Amino acid sequence: MSWLISSSIGRKLMMSISGLFLILFLIFHMSMNLVMVFSMEAYDMICEFLGANWYAIVGTLVLAAGFIVHIIYATVLTLQNRKARGGNHYAVANKTSAEWSSKNMYVLGLAVFLFLCLHMYQFWFQMQFKELLHIEGAVVQGSAIVVPLFQQPLFVAIYLLAFAALWFHLTHGFWSALHTVGWNNTVWIGRLKTLSYIVATLIFIGFAIIPIYIYFCYSAVA
């Protein structure tokens, strides 16, 4: 199993598998968030269910491990590619067909990671972390954080920009990951790229609906 660490193919495989795992989490997280559009009470019930329980803690640790693996391997591969290209960091086999997102995957990933840190502080730290350590001020109802946050246009804009960065990251990352794990023939490559745009767009819309919905509906009520 040492080839997963020492070889370029092994590193790409690990980054791809961890990336696909994170996409599954994004779909789950998006689906959970969309419950807010139909019922804030139901969303609060889900947040309470996913509080400081053993299964939620285990899930958080597994998710954190997936992010760490993905970030580490992405960093190693990016440095490896830059070293191989020398001074020309953007050298590609066919410059006319190279996608902007494919040349900026690490920058896009870094933007998503920085947003994730903000998001974790605003939600996970205020909810599960404080509850787990019995810190005063722990929030159980997710709506108590979500609604006031997205009544502020600044945070609506920040979240939408982050979702846009995620969209660009996924349009290349999804099909590239599937290509790495074995779907790499000429028949499937075009289909995978199309599927990547569909999945990335659905995830973007699913997440973007929430801040927009809360800002226009709940701000008007307030």
pLDDT score of 195 more than 60: yes
Closest to 78 (Cα-Cα) out of 90, 96, 94: 90
- The answer for residues whose C-beta is within 8 angstroms of residue 50's C-beta and 6 or more apart is 56, 59, 128
Looking at the predicted structure, is the pLDDT value of residue 38 above 90?
yes
What pLDDT score was predicted for residue 80?
79
The pLDDT, as a whole number, for residue 98 is 46
What the block records as the tokens of 71 is: 């970030």
Q: Each residue of 44-54: pLDDT tens digit? A: 999 888 877 77
Q: What is the pLDDT of residues 123-158, one digit of tens each?
A: 988 888 888 888 888 888 899 999 999 999 999 999
> Which stretches of 51-142 are DSSP H helices?
54-85, 100-103, 105-119, 130-132
For the chain, list the domains and their CATH numbers. Answer: 3-221 (1.20.1300.10)
Query: Residue 137 and residue 126: Cα distance in Å, rounded?
Result: 8
Q: In this predicted model, what pLDDT tens digit does every residue of 147-187 receive, in sequence order? A: 999 999 999 999 999 999 999 999 988 888 888 877 666 77
Cβ distance 175 to 192 under 8 Å? yes
